[in-house]
Amino acid sequence: MDLTTAHLADACIRAGVPVRCASLTSVEPGHRVSGRVLPARHVGSVDVFLEAFETAEPGDVLVVDNDGRTDESCVGDLVVLEARSAGLAGVVIRGLHRDTADIRAIGLPVFSAGTMPTGPLSIRARPEDALERASFGEWTVSREDVVFGDDDGVVFVPAAQLDRVIELAEGIRDTERRQAELIRDGESLRSQVRFDAFLKRREQNPGLTFRDHLRAVGGAIEE
C-alpha cells in the first residue's frame, strides 16, 4: 500500500475512529508491515508464539504483548524465522527484541521498542485470553484489528472500519502530495491554505480553529 501510518492515523481522526498508535521502531529501517493482528501475550516462554502460529493465516502479523517490559527481550531470531515459515507478514512487539543482526538477515519486518541481550527472566502465570488480545498501553487489540507499521511507528485500525479509513487516507495522501508539489513549484503553503483569510476570519470569530479552516478549504496538513 502506498500509504503511511501518518496518513492512516489522520484518516482515523477524520473518520471518528480512536487513534491507536505505538511508538515502535523497525529493526531494519525502511521496512513496512500490514496485516491482521495475531495477538500473543508473552509470560516468559516461547510456547505462546508457537501456539499462535498453529492458527495463523498467511499475511497475519504477530502482535506480542510483553507489558512493555524493558528488563528483558521476548522475541529473538528463532521466533522470527518460525513466523516467516508460518507465512506471517511481520512481528510487532510491545517490548524488546534481541538477535538484531540475525533478524535483519531474515528480512521479515519486526517492530519493537528496542533491544536487550537477555531473554525472559521468569515464567509468569498465563492468562486465559493470551491468544485473544494484546494490550498497548490503554489500547487493546485483537484479531478484529489490522496493524500497519513503518518508520513512524505502528497504528491499529478496526477491520470493520478499514475500507473507510483507507479511502480517507488516500484522499489525505493525494492532497498532501499536491500541496508538496506546489511548494516545490514556488507556491507557499500559506498561500495554498489561504492563511491570510484564516487570520481575518479568526479576528471575527476567535473560536475558529485552523483545522476547521483547513476542512473548509480542502487542506490536509492536520488530520
Is 77 labeled as ligand-binding? Answer: yes
Spatial separation of the C-alpha atoms in residues 47 and 185, rounded to whole Å: 56
In a domain, 223, yes or no: no
Known binding residue 79? Answer is yes
Together in a domain, 49 and 83? yes
Whether residue 100 lies inside any domain: the answer is yes
| pLDDT for the residue 222 | 53
Grid cell for residue 107: 528480512
Q: What region, left, alpha or beta, does residue 90 occupy, with left being phi > 0 and alpha being psi -120 to 50 degrees?
A: left
141 and 182 assigned to the same domain: no
| pTM attached to this predicted model | 0.91
Domain around 170: 165-217
The pLDDT, as a whole number, for residue 211 is 85
Q: Is residue 24 part of a domain?
A: yes
157 and 171 fall within a common domain: no
Specify whether 69 is located in the same domain as 123. Answer: yes
184 and 142 within one domain: no
pLDDT reported for residue 219: 59
Residue 103: inside a domain, yes or no?
yes
Residue from 41, 111, 119 nearest 78 by CA? 119
| Ordered strands of the 110-112 beta sheet | 20-22, 153-158, 145-150, 33-41, 61-65, 90-94, 110-112, 25-26
Residues 50 and 141 in one domain: yes
Is 149 within any annotated ligand binding site?
A: no
Q: Do 103 and 179 belong together in one domain?
A: no
Please report the pLDDT score of residue 12 as a whole number: 97
- pLDDT of 221 reads 58
165 annotated among ligand-binding-site residues: no
As a whole number of angstroms, the distance between CA 121 and CA 18 comes to 34
Same domain, 87 and 42: yes
Is the same domain home to 198 and 169?
A: yes
Both 43 and 77 in a single domain? yes
End-of-domain residue from the set 119, 145, 161: 161
Angle between helices 162-184 and 5-15 (to 10 degrees): 120
- Decide if 222 is inside a domain: no
- Same domain, yes or no: 26 and 62: yes
Q: Are residues 139 and 175 in the same domain?
A: no
Residue at 11 is within a domain = yes
The predicted pLDDT at position 220 comes to: 56
Q: Is 49 inside a domain boundary?
A: yes
Is the separation of the CB atoms in 21 and 9 below 8 Å? Answer: yes
HEC sequence for 148-197? EEECCEEEEEEHHHHHHHHHHHHHHHHHHHHHHHHHHCCCCHHHHCCHHH
Amino acid at position 64, single letter: V
Residue found by looking up cell 483507507 in the block: 166
Domain-terminating residue out of 161, 176, 193:
161
Q: Tell me: is residue 143 an annotated ligand-binding position.
A: no
Q: What is the pLDDT of residue 77?
A: 98
CATH number for the domain including 106? 3.50.30.40
pLDDT for the residue 146: 98
- How many domains are contained in the chain? 2
HSE-CB at 177 with a 13 A cutoff on CA atoms is 10
Tens-digit pLDDT profile for the chain (223 aa)? 689 999 999 999 999 999 999 999 999 999 999 999 999 999 999 999 999 999 999 999 999 999 999 999 999 999 999 999 999 999 999 999 999 999 999 999 999 999 999 999 999 999 999 999 999 988 999 999 999 999 999 999 999 999 999 999 999 999 899 999 999 999 999 998 899 999 999 999 999 998 888 877 765 555 4
78 is in an annotated binding site: yes
Give a yes or no: residue 188 inside a domain: yes
